[in-house]
Structure 1
Amino acid sequence: MTASVNELITTAPGASCDADLAEGPWAFDLSPGYGPGASEDDVIPDPVVRPGQLPVAYQRMSDDELHARIRAAKEALGERLVILGHFYQRDEVVQHADFVGDSFQLANAALTKPDADTIVFCGVHFMAETADILARPEQHVILPNLAAGCSMADMADEDSVEAAWEELMELYADEDTSDGRASVVPVTYMNSSAALKAFCGRHGGIVCTSSNAATVLEWAFEQGRRVLFFPDQHLGRNTGKAMGVPLEQMPMINPRKPGLGVEPQELLDARVLLWPGFCSVHKRFTVAQIDQARAQHPGVKVVVHPESPMPVVDAADAAGSTDFIRKFVAASEPGDVIAIGTEINLVNRLAADYPDRTIFCLDPVICPCSTMYRIHPGYLAWVLDGLLEGEVRNEIVVDEDVATHAKVALERMLAALPK
């Protein structure tokens, strides 16, 4: 039987990011930063989101009691409730989800339950924001733990993007746009705030996910000469390269430097302008890990997420979204050996689903996404009990003006079907 991620962290502290990650996340919710397991490179959010502390009674409940409460609440609430669970969530949470998927799939799944009064999103903050934007006005969206943020999303803030945009607009002011194509089209990855999605909506841009990034870039190139892609540099670079965009036409800007840290001519020649953001989990994967996997397992198939650095994607046999990775494994044969470069909860779940294959994570260090890991059955039980008592806890509400513009960019995303 495959060990749970929590068991791996607990029993192998020498091979984990931080053994404290196996403990209840409520101990870290009020601390600055992202808590145990976070990359040293993670940007500390400012201001730090201060969640409502989980009541002590829920902190002390046994796993069996928490699961029993969740099941009882789900049964009582019936069709009035829908629970969404991201692939990277811990197994203890995923087992209660009505839908499990990546960000693109869950954005669509929420739309299939228009009669539900409440959407409980077991993911991170930007996902719950997206659900609120797409939901009916009378629907409530709940994030069980408000401390479940995203370090990548925090690497691109509205003020910095606005300032960079103004510099670009000044540089491109003299370009001939008589053909109706814009000088630059903003594209934000789903892993971004509602404010940045609204920015894209206001400026003729679009949102993308790892599933439909290529389709989105094709759309953006039809609208404009170049793309400003944020916050994940790696997804932007890997997608652009796969579409034939030369690396020299994909400079990475630095919003903190004069002139964005790039020579004006490079900005004029660019096709894709990359923001210096990254995922702390996927940044951990290396070519050396792939080499080691191939040396230890001749014939191994390597598949990685496109948030991984370009050399890693180039060295792998395949790269794609979390759903792509799942389908890659499903299409394999019994006896195959597969090394995967993505978040450990998904890898561990795939290994359990396909016991007749050898499936392992490229990174030997057991390091789940520390912010996804903030969602715990204790928080889920607490918010569901609140609904039974007539109280909506940890509701996510996006400002109406922001939601209006963000919805424009999100609807363009939903229309850009993955290839």
Structure 2
Amino acid sequence: MTALSIRTRIELAPTKTCNTSLAENPWAFDTAPGYGPGSSQEDTVPGFAPTNATARPGQLPEAYRKMDDEELHRRIREAKATLGEKLVILGHFYQRDEVVQHADFIGDSFQLANAALTRPEAEAIVFCGVHFMAETADILSTAEQKVILPNLAAGCSMADMADEDSVETAWEEIAEVYGFDPENPQPDEDGKLPVIPVTYMNSSAALKAFCGQRGGIVCTSSNATTVLEWAYERAHRVLFFPDQHLGRNTAKAMGIPLEQMPMWNPRQPLGGNSAEDLQEAKVLLWHGFCSVHKRFTVEQIDKARQEHPGVKVIVHPECPMPVVDAADEAGSTDAIRKFVEASQPEDVIAVGTEINMVNRLAAEYPDRTIFCLDPVICPCSTMYRIHPGYLAWVLEDLVAGEVSNQITVPERIATPAKIALDRMLAAKPR
């Protein structure tokens, strides 16, 4: 879908929860507080400061703001050709088409983390995604490689819902309930820890390091089940953050009852639970969510089934549990892609995930009817900050021998974070 068609549909959409200023270019709002226009007004979560707030850039150089699309794409292609194997561009499934057309690899966070490892000869890794993804690429890359995020304002509101201080405080309270040393948990007579931390990929490098230092692991939506199985071999319980919905949907599919999945609200003592409730818990779910996937509803699925008898519905596991239960299938972005790939001509498929990916699938399979469950165009507002202007800027700087918008994770964080990430990479999804 072109930028023009997105803009038109947003302006016509009769809704109060999708911000029409998404039609503006990202440099118009990059330096403003919050996460910018786009997916939902719920993107801004009071009480949590963005983890990358200090990384906000200045304005994109004026010359790039004035260039038309044709010139920007020409400059990107020429810079790529000049840099050759010294460069690799990674593009997330949710990225806008104008950007992913230049990517060497397109995938979900798990795939792109692996893809970066396949190009050790690349001197620069340009990550067209969001901040936590670029941090992960820096942790996994070699010391000689430079990781670049074209727009430093591309953060993630879900990732910011679990900040380091809040998780540390929660861990100390949890340790008191379960009776272990928060700095050095020890296994019991059964050889298991009282609780083990699991962080979703959508989290800061500091929280990945937190997990690495405490025997924990990182998961993605692709391998969440494998990771929880890994965790239960080593511990009686899991502290899962920041996305409550992925944790709940994954654990429920594994047979864990809902009453053993208390929510942990970091703004309340003991997360809003009693010590007795926590004793019975199998999964402590952090009070976080993705504002894009939270928009999907059972009513939307019912409407799709009424209007399209025989429709197949697949949603992302970041959606609320009732939505996942009402769908035919749930899976990661790559699982959604494979689901569509395995479908047949004339099939009708309703998808509950970010609109850029849905539109791309619809264009790739024109002999099928593929549409987004949510009738309102609400892209991931932070992913949308990566614009061809920013990509052209950082690539031409590389040609000139300059590195702009480099993401560097300090060694004290990178070392333990890599432990948790290596465990994630070893936990291959089935």
TM-score by structure 1 length? 0.97
Q: Which residue does the alignment assign to 1:46?
A: 49
Q: Which residue does the alignment assign to 2:123?
A: 117
Q: Which residue does the alignment assign to 1:401?
A: 412
Over 3 Å counting, the alpha-carbon distance change for 1:228 and 1:58 in structure 2 is same
1:204 aligns with 2:215: yes
Give the residue type in structure 2 aligned to 1:29: D
* Partner Cα distance (2:10, 2:130) in 1: 27
1:13 aligns with 2:11: yes
Over 3 Å counting, the alpha-carbon distance change for 1:319 and 1:11 in structure 2 is closer
Over 3 Å counting, the alpha-carbon distance change for 1:199 and 1:335 in structure 2 is same
- Provide structure 1 residue ranges, at least 5 long, that are not aligned to the other structure: none
* Partner Cα distance (1:104, 1:398) in 2: 19
Give the residue type in structure 1 aligned to 2:49: D
Deviation, 1:23, is: 2.1
Choose which of 246, 250, 259 in structure 2 pairs with 1:235.
246
Give the residue type in structure 2 aligned to 1:259: L
Runs of 4+ in 1 over 4 A off after TM superposition: none
Q: Which residue does the alignment assign to 1:37?
A: 38
Deviation, 1:6, is: 4.8
Give the residue type in structure 2 aligned to 1:286: T
2:314–2:327 Cα contact (<8 Å) kept = yes
Choose which of 157, 160, 163 in structure 2 pairs with 1:157.
163
Which stretch shifts more, 13-22 or 201-210?
Answer: 13-22
* Partner Cα distance (1:176, 1:261) in 2: 27
Deviation, 1:12, is: 4.5
Give the residue type in structure 2 aligned to 1:121: F
Which stretch shifts more, 7-16 or 196-205?
Answer: 7-16
Deviation, 1:11, is: 4.2
Q: Which residue does the alignment assign to 1:69?
A: 75
Cα root mean square deviation, aligned: 1.3
Deviation, 1:19, is: 2.9
Task: Report % sequence identity.
Answer: 74
Deviation, 1:389, is: 0.8
Deviation, 1:20, is: 2.1
Give the residue type in structure 2 aligned to 1:185: I
- Provide structure 2 residue ranges, at least 5 long, that are not aligned to the other structure: 181-185
* Partner Cα distance (2:265, 2:381) in 1: 26
* Partner Cα distance (2:191, 2:225) in 1: 22
Deviation, 1:224, is: 0.1
Deviation, 1:13, is: 1.0
| Paired residues for 1:270-289 under 5 Å | 270-289=281-300
| Paired residues for 1:83-232 under 5 Å | 83-173=89-179, 177-232=188-243
1:107-156 per-residue CA deviation (whole Å, 9 max, x = no partner) reads 00000000100000000000000000000011000000000000000000
1:5–1:348 Cα contact (<8 Å) kept = no
TM-score by structure 2 length? 0.95
1:375 aligns with 2:386: yes
* Partner Cα distance (1:343, 1:101) in 2: 13
Q: Which residue does the alignment assign to 2:183?
A: none
Give the residue type in structure 1 aligned to 2:168: E
Q: Which residue does the alignment assign to 1:27?
A: 28
Choose which of 338, 342, 359 in structure 2 pairs with 1:348.
359
| Paired residues for 1:293-332 under 5 Å | 293-332=304-343
SS in 1 for 2:152: coil
Q: Which residue does the alignment assign to 1:56?
A: 62
SS in 2 for 1:340: strand
Deviation, 1:254, is: 1.2
Q: Which residue does the alignment assign to 2:377?
A: 366
SS in 2 for 1:223: coil
SS in 2 for 1:302: strand
* Partner Cα distance (2:9, 2:240) in 1: 40
2:9–2:377 Cα contact (<8 Å) kept = no
Deviation, 1:259, is: 2.1
Q: Which residue does the alignment assign to 1:259?
A: 270
Give the residue type in structure 2 aligned to 1:7: S
* Partner Cα distance (1:311, 1:60) in 2: 46
Paired residues, number: 417
Deviation, 1:18, is: 2.7
